Chain A
Amino acid sequence: MVQLTTHGSNPTMNGMDPALKPRLQRRSAFEYAAWAVCILLGVGLLVSVATNPNFQWDVVAKYFTNESILRGLVLTIVLTVVSMVLGTLLGLVLAIMRSSSIKPIAATAGAYITFFRGTPVLVQLIFWFNIAALYPNLSIGGTDIDVNALITPIMAAVIGLTLNEAAYMAEIIRGGFSSVAKGQIEAADSLGMSGMMKMRKVIIPQAMPSIIPATGNQVIGMFKETSLVSVLGVAELLQSAQLIYARTYETIPLLIVASLWYLVMTLLLSYPQSQLEKKYSRSSSRLPRKAKKVVLTDPEGIAR
Chain B
Amino acid sequence: MTCDGTIHGRGIRKSFGAKTVLQNIDLDIASGEICCIIGPSGSGKSTLLRCVNGLETVDLGVLKVNGELFGYYETDSAFHALSRTRLAEQRTKVGIVFQQFNLFPNMTAQDNIMAGPVLVKGGDKKQAAQRAQQLLASVGLSGFGGHYPAQLSGGQQQRVAIARALAMDPQIMLFDEPTSALDPEKVGEVLAVMKDLAQKGMTMVVVTHEMGFAREVADTLLFMDEGCIVERGDAREVLANPKERRTQAFLERVL
* Least Cβ–Cβ distance between A112 and chain B, in angstroms: 26
CB pair B106–A194 under 8 Å, yes or no, is: no
Report A189 CB to chain B, min CB distance, Å.
6
Q: CA separation between A181 and B88, bound complex, in Å?
A: 21
Please determine whether A191 and B153 come into contact, CB atoms closer than 8 angstroms.
no
Choose among B55, B106, B144, B168 the residue with the greatest number of A CB atoms under 10 Å from its CB.
B106
**B100 within 8 Å of A (CB atoms):** yes
Give the nearest-CB partner of B149 in chain A.
A286
Is the Cβ of B151 less than 8 Å from the Cβ of A303?
A: no
Count A/B pairs, Cβ under 8 Å.
105
CA distance A183 to B151 in the complex (A): 19
Stretch with Cβ within 8 A of A (4 or more), from B112-120, B123-131, B209-217, B227-235: B112-120
Select which of B105, B116, B193 is within 8 A of A191 by beta carbon: B116
Contact of B223 with A by CB under 8 A:
no
In the bound complex, do residue B88 and residue A193 qualify as a contact, i.e. CB atoms below 8 Å apart? yes
Which parts of B199-214 form the interface with A (CB within 8 Å)?
Answer: none
* Interface contact B120-A191, CB-CB below 8 Å: yes
Q: Is the CB of A201 within 8 A of B115?
A: yes
B98 lies within 8 A of A201 (CB): no
Contacts of A206 in B (CB 8 A): 104-106
- Chain A residues, CB < 8 A from B196: 304
CB <8 Å contact, B106 and A303: no
CA distance A183 to B120 in the complex (A): 18
Q: Does A260 contact B (CB under 8 A)?
A: no
- Are B84's CB and A194's CB within 8 A? yes
B140-156: CB near A (< 8 Å → 1, else 0) gives 11111011101101011
Please name all residues of chain A whose beta carbon is closer than 8 Å to the beta carbon of B153 when the two chains form the complex: 299-300
The CA of A187 and the CA of B165, in the complex, are separated in Å by 9
A184 to B91, CA, bound (A): 16
B102 within 8 A of A: yes
Closest-by-CB residue of B relative to A303 is B189
Q: Mark A271-304, 1 if CB is under 8 A from B, else 0.
A: 0000000000000101110011010100111111
Q: Are A183 and B119 in contact (CB under 8 A)?
A: no
CB contacts (< 8 Å) of A294 on chain B: these are 147, 151
Within 8 A of B (CB), among A200-218: 201-202, 205-206
- In the bound complex, do residue A183 and residue B98 qualify as a contact, i.e. CB atoms below 8 Å apart? yes
Q: Please give the distance in Å from B57's CB to the nearest CB on chain A.
A: 12
Tell whether, in the assembled complex, residue A288 and residue B148 are in contact, meaning their CB atoms are under 8 Å apart. Answer: yes
Are A187 and B84 in contact (CB-based, < 8 A)? no
Encode contact with A along B69-101: 1 for CB under 8 Å, 0 otherwise.
000000000000000110011011011101010
Do B150 and A192 have beta carbons less than 8 Å apart? no
Across the interface, A286 reaches (CB within 8 A) one of B91, B105, B139, B146, namely: B105
Residue B192 is within 8 A (CB to CB) of chain A in the complex:
yes
A190 on interface, CB distance cutoff 8 Å = yes
A183 touches B100 (CB 8 A): yes
Instruction: Decide: A194 and B88 in contact? CB cutoff 8 A.
Output: yes
**Is the CB of A197 closer than 8 A to any CB of chain B?**
yes
Q: Which of B53, B105, B119, B193 has a CB less than 8 Å from the CB of A303? A: B193
Given A189-B55, A193-B119, 12 other A-B contacts at CB below 8 A?
A181-B102, A186-B98, A187-B104, A190-B165, A192-B88, A192-B120, A201-B104, A201-B119, A284-B150, A299-B153, A300-B153, A301-B159
Identify 13 residue pairs between A and B in the complex whose beta-carbon atoms are under 8 Å apart, listed by A's number: A183-B102, A190-B53, A190-B55, A190-B96, A191-B120, A192-B88, A192-B120, A202-B106, A287-B150, A287-B151, A296-B151, A300-B189, A301-B143
